[in-house]
Amino acid sequence: MSVKMNDVRKVLLMVEEKFQRFKQQQFTFIAALERSREHAHHRTQPVSTVNEVKWYMTQHCSNSIDMQIFSLFLDIMDNLKDLFYMLESLASARNYARDVLNSYRNVFSPEYNFSQFRTHYQYDGVNRLSCDEAQNYYGGVISVIPVILDLHKEAIMELSQASNKMVPEMENTTPGQQRASNNAQVRSVKKTYASRRSSKSSQKAADGWKPADGWKPAWKPPGPGRT
């Protein structure tokens, strides 16, 4: 089934709604990471990969609230990966935005190290972390979703611009305009055809029409003709 831009936008909207919920629970997410990392005796390095978050959830998660916030993070990451594949399919069909997509293709590897990710704008989730150490530990895992969202939006913008350039002018006309155009073309063809027939008839009359070679009058029986 071919991917359409409307489908892409619907998925993007769904991911953004989930991300808004995640943003409201970011400190719950950080607290869950803190507890899981303490249980795993793994607090000396920043959170770096999706697989690491999965490991904390499956092996060192201590309560249902932590499990829920871990699941939400991983669910959003899966949705972002699905959205990437949709964009890739659309880009392949239209031969656009490949450079943008290639620039962050590897981010969706479960072992990709995103610990150095920081959003290019002032991101509250990172700025509110209590100290530089916490920012270093959790800045990447908090930034990875908004960074990917920004890249997705950039790819969507390029694809939309490319699509607008490729739309034929006819597709921008209304059905009424298209019918009027078609009717005008039909009338033009009929007029041209009638003009040509009239021209041929006039030419025959002017030249004096003669039967083709080999033409003979209809046969009549011998004898006196009728009066």
pLDDT range class, residue 174, cuts 50, 70, 90: low
Q: Which is more confident, 95 or 116? A: 116
Structure confidence at residue 5 (pLDDT)? 86
What does the pLDDT average to over 202-225? 49
Please answer whether residues 67 and 57 qualify as being in contact, where contact means their C-beta atoms are separated by less than 8 angstroms.
Answer: yes
pLDDT range class, residue 3, cuts 50, 70, 90: confident
Structure confidence at residue 185 (pLDDT)? 38
Residues ≥6 apart with Cβ < 8 Å to 35? 60, 62, 66
Q: How far apart are the first and last CA of the chain?
A: 84
In this prediction the pTM is: 0.69
Q: Which is more confident, 64 or 205? A: 64
Structure confidence at residue 78 (pLDDT)? 97
Residues ≥6 apart with Cβ < 8 Å to 108? 77, 80, 81, 84
Name the H helices within the chain: 5-24, 26-39, 50-60, 64-94, 98-103, 124-127, 132-166, 175-207
Phi-psi bin for 211: left (phi > 0), alpha (psi -120 to 50), beta?
Answer: beta
What does the pLDDT average to over 119-134? 61
Structure confidence at residue 163 (pLDDT)? 67
Structure confidence at residue 204 (pLDDT)? 47
Q: What is the 3-state secondary structure (H, E, C) of 133-166?
A: HHHHHHHHHHHHHHHHHHHHHHHHHHHHHHHHHH
